[in-house]
Amino acid sequence: MSSRYWLMKSEPDECAIDDALAAPAQTVPWTGVRNYQARNFMRDAMQVGDGVLFYHSSCPQPGVAGIARVASGVRPDPTQFDAASPYHDPASPPDAPRWLLLDVQALRKTRLIGLPELRNEPALTDMLLLRKGNRLSITPVTPAEWAAVLALADR
């Protein structure tokens, strides 16, 4: 499965779009993915240059907060071996790391496009993010959905 566009969830307490924009080269390592399906997207399908909807989750105002791009291929996520990290995974073998990350470069902040607004947009009714029970932190986005979200951003 390959896609040119993705949505990636970040808790703004940890890394908000402003934090990513303030980072060197506006680029942050996407640490903490601990779901195999999301990891496999990074490993098997995501390519440098793919578009990313930067989504704020688990916060007072969940929604799309910015536009970014995939900026690197995958490498092992060092937080899995850090006993002090909340993402520590003692079961991950150091010689065969279970968890990967890639770099994400923030391109611009958008106005906050909240969940209710996304749900209201007819072009987004099938968006994976909006499916009932969806918990995936990385989901593919279709070109039509990408265009619809960008149109909302500029509205």
Binding site for DNA (CB under 7 A): 9, 34-37, 57-59, 62, 91, 115-116, 132-137
The two structure tokens encoding residue 12: 């703004």
Q: How far is the CB of 139 from DNA (least distance, A)?
A: 9
Query: Looking at beta carbons only, is 37 or 47 nearer to DNA?
Result: 37
Q: Cβ 58 to DNA, closest distance in Å?
A: 4
Between 27 and 92, name the residue whose CB sits nearer to DNA. 92
Q: How far apart are CA 107 and CA 14, in angstroms?
A: 18
CB of 54 to DNA, least distance (A): 13
Beta bridge partners of residue 105, listed in sequence order = 27, 69
Least separation in angstroms between residue 82's CB and DNA is: 16
Nearer to DNA, 9 or 153 (CB): 9
Tokens of 23: 């980072």
Q: DSSP H helical segments within the chain, as ranges?
A: 12-15, 17-22, 36-40, 115-120, 143-153
For residues 153 and 53, the answer to whether their CB atoms sit within 8 Å is no
Cα within 13 Å of Cα(130), Cβ side = 19
Considering the complex, state which of residue 24 and residue 116 has its C-beta at the smaller distance from DNA. Answer: 116
Minimum distance from residue 123 beta carbon to DNA (Å) = 19
Nearer to DNA, 4 or 34 (CB): 34
In single-letter form, the type of residue at position 81 comes to F
CA 14 to chain centroid: 13
